[in-house]
Amino acid sequence: MKKHDRFLRSSNIKRSAFKQPLSFIVFLVISILLLSSPFQLGAQSQKIASKAARVSLPPNLDELVARVMKTFEVPGLSLAIVKDGQVLLAEGYGVKKLGEPAPVDAQTLFGIASNSKLFTAVALGTLVDEGKIDWNGRVVDYLPEFMMYDPYVTREMTVKDLLCHRSGLGLGAGDLMFWPATNLTRQEILGRVRFIKPAYSFRSTYAYSNLMFVVAGELLEKVTGLPWEDYVQDKIQKRVGMMYSNTRCSLVAEASNVAWPHAPVEGQVRAIKPYLPDNINPAGGINSCAEDMAKWMLLLLNKGKLSDGSQLISEKVMNEITSMQTPIPISKPASELAAAVMNFNGYGLGVRLRDFRRHQVVTHTGGLAGYVSQVWLMPEIGLGITILTNQESGEAYQSLTYEIADYYLKAPAVDWVGAMAKVRERSRQRTEDEIKKAYEQRNKDSKPSLPLEKYAGLYRDAWYGEIEIKYENGRLLMNFKHSPDLSGPLEHWQYDTFVARWSDPELRADAYVTFSLNPDGSIAEARMKPFSPDTDFSYDFQDLLLKPVPVKK
């Protein structure tokens, strides 16, 4: 999913071994390159890398990072590179928050969002090793209160099914129960899963699901007696040596060394409020940093073996996690990105599997409001790359990843930064054109079928719950009861369709609301869908079916 972070400490690695500064010449070059840019602090970095290790890094890496940050307007970035069992780099670039001088360092925390999913899979994998669960064991045998819409799926869903996006639910189905911030607990969310209608046949189609990972977290707690947060921190992070990381979105509010989330809002990148609820943690709640993610990548590349030689998780279970469970259709890339074309694409357990230049890649991305990230492992050449950012630009982490991977593959040079910038601009223009077309095609002279006050009332969706529409001062106002941020006026669009213009501009998720009438002119139901094609998929408005709640007499 999408965002977070926290604290300030010096490195636990001896600084005497890692204090090679940028040369004055490199610093001058980068300063000139970024002159007059609000993101010029991207050139400043806090390093943890020995002199010998830096020799193994791509030349002009600092200049490359600076270019990426300037091109895609990224205030702060954290980069970790491991190769052949060694940490080559754990480094911070830029600033934690625009307008403030505090730099990102190797321990600065970022929300890694859906990169948390592999931690959930590994945590369950430790229980497989201990014989407490079986990958093919039925979820209801461990979590009796679990129930899907279809009784057959309820009966047949396995632990493995929770982790590989083949439940039959649609893309992001149920995400509105925790995104944007809601007051629902994970237990309440678990109880509502049964009301979400499937979009596909069970195990037939890949469709990304945060909801099933939340269920997986509840299953882990039922089996171990420990909340997901405590189990992952004590049994995974501490053993790996991830001393700065945590497992709770809410801890961003308590952090001192944290990269603040940023996003483009109304045409300008700015700091936005962090996401704090903990109901999404098993799918996206971990906060981490370059130094800790380097240790995590070493564990994964070493088939679950810790630095002391012991196994956190068996190689057999690790192999199962990184084996393809659900194929993902391959789409043709944009012409500028042709060199990144895939020959295979799929999902394992909490991790995506693909190839890059015909080499196997084990990877995942993460996104919460104000944070996006990527973990990229190439086992055949012993390479691991983690990029954490505090701005919502997938182009930033992807172009930087490709550039670094190309260096170690000795691949033909491609200007990935320039290519991604072109693709981004084309996508932006396409969205702008679609929205312009929608305005041009609507019937502005049409009127609602009913007086506005007739649309007001309490509505209920089976899985989300109550949504209220009020009539005040000559206009309609919509309010999602469990989501305080989803509140704003309904603007008439055409006929019986309105557009919800949320009062909080940080949401960037306006939505159509279309009412259907009964023969007697009363409201039968209301359906919603995102207004912009760029709306994040976690705003799954299209899955709602709003029914009027009868007024008690």
DSSP string for 203-260: TTS----SHHHHHHHHHHHHHHSS-HHHHIIIIIIHHHT--S-BS-GGGGGG-SSBPP
111 with 139, same domain? no
Is 4 contained in some domain?
no
Burial of 399 (0-12, 13-18, 19+ CB in 10 A): buried
175 and 274 fall within a common domain? no
Residue length, the chain? 553
Residue 299 to residue 284: CA distance in whole angstroms: 20
Query: What letter would DSSP give residue 80?
Result: E
* Strand runs labelled E in 415-496: 457-461, 465-472, 475-480, 487-494
- With CA atoms as reference, report the closest residue to 316 among 128, 120, 124: 128
Please indicate, yes or no, whether residues 22 and 111 belong to a single structural domain of this protein: yes
CA atoms within 13 A on the CB side of 321: 27
CATH for 81: 3.40.710.10
Residues 499 and 386 in one domain: no
Angle between helices 416-441 and 394-409 (to 10 degrees): 150
Residues of the domain holding 544 = 452-548
Q: CB 410: neighbour CB atoms within 10 A?
A: 6
pLDDT tens across the length of the chain (553 residues): 433 332 222 222 222 222 333 333 333 333 333 334 445 444 344 455 555 566 789 999 999 999 999 999 999 999 999 999 999 999 999 999 999 999 999 999 999 999 999 999 999 999 999 999 999 999 999 999 999 999 999 999 999 999 999 999 999 999 999 999 999 999 999 999 999 999 999 999 999 999 999 999 999 999 999 999 999 999 999 999 999 999 999 998 788 899 999 999 998 999 999 999 999 999 999 999 999 999 999 999 999 999 999 999 999 999 999 999 999 999 999 999 999 999 999 999 999 999 999 999 999 999 998 999 999 999 999 999 999 999 999 999 999 999 999 999 999 999 999 999 999 999 999 999 999 999 999 999 999 999 999 999 999 999 999 999 999 999 999 999 999 999 999 999 999 999 999 999 999 999 999 999 999 999 999 999 999 999 999 999 999 999 999 987 6
Residue 192 has which token pair?
A: 């509502």
Ramachandran region, residue 266 (left: φ > 0; alpha: ψ -120 to 50; beta: rest): left
Quick: pLDDT tens for 460-469: 999 999 999 9
In this structure, is residue 74 part of a structural domain? yes
Residue 488, beta-bridge partner list: 478
Does 358 lie in the same domain as 503?
A: no
Tell me: do 206 and 321 sit in the same domain: no
> The sheet that has 76-83: what strands, in order across it?
45-48, 86-94, 76-83, 383-389, 371-378, 359-368, 352-356, 345-347, 326-327
In a domain, 446, yes or no: no
CA of residue 486 relative to chain centroid, distance: 20
Phi, psi of 132 (to 5 degrees): -85, -25
Residues 330 and 390 in one domain: yes
In a domain, 410, yes or no: yes
**Residue 62 contacts residue 43 (beta carbons within 8 Å):** yes
Domain count, the chain: 3
Instruction: Specify if 90 maps to a domain.
Output: yes
Q: Which residues contact 22 (CB under 8 A, 6 or more apart)?
A: 30, 45, 62
Instruction: Decide if 7 is inside a domain.
Output: no
From residue 215, give the alpha-carbon distance in Å to each of 1, 178, 329, 444, 501.
Answer: 15, 13, 26, 45, 32
CA–CA separation, 45 and 42 (whole Å): 7
379 class by beta-carbon count within 10 Å (0-12 exposed, 13-18 middle, 19+ buried): middle
What's the pTM? 0.90
Say whether both 78 and 27 belong to one domain.
yes
Question: Which CATH number does the domain housing residue 468 bear?
Answer: 2.40.128.50
Give me the long-range contacts of 140-143 (CB less than 8 A, separation at least 24): 142/219, 142/222, 142/223, 143/190, 143/215, 143/218, 143/219, 143/222
At 87 the three-state DSSP class reads: strand
Q: Give residue-wise pLDDT tens across range 82-129.
A: 999 999 999 999 999 999 999 999 999 999 999 999 999 999 999 999
Do 499 and 409 share a structural domain?
A: no
262 and 296 belong to one structural domain: yes
Tokens standing for residue 42:
């991207």
Structure tokens at 553: 């007499």
CA pair distance 106, 9, nearest whole angstrom: 10
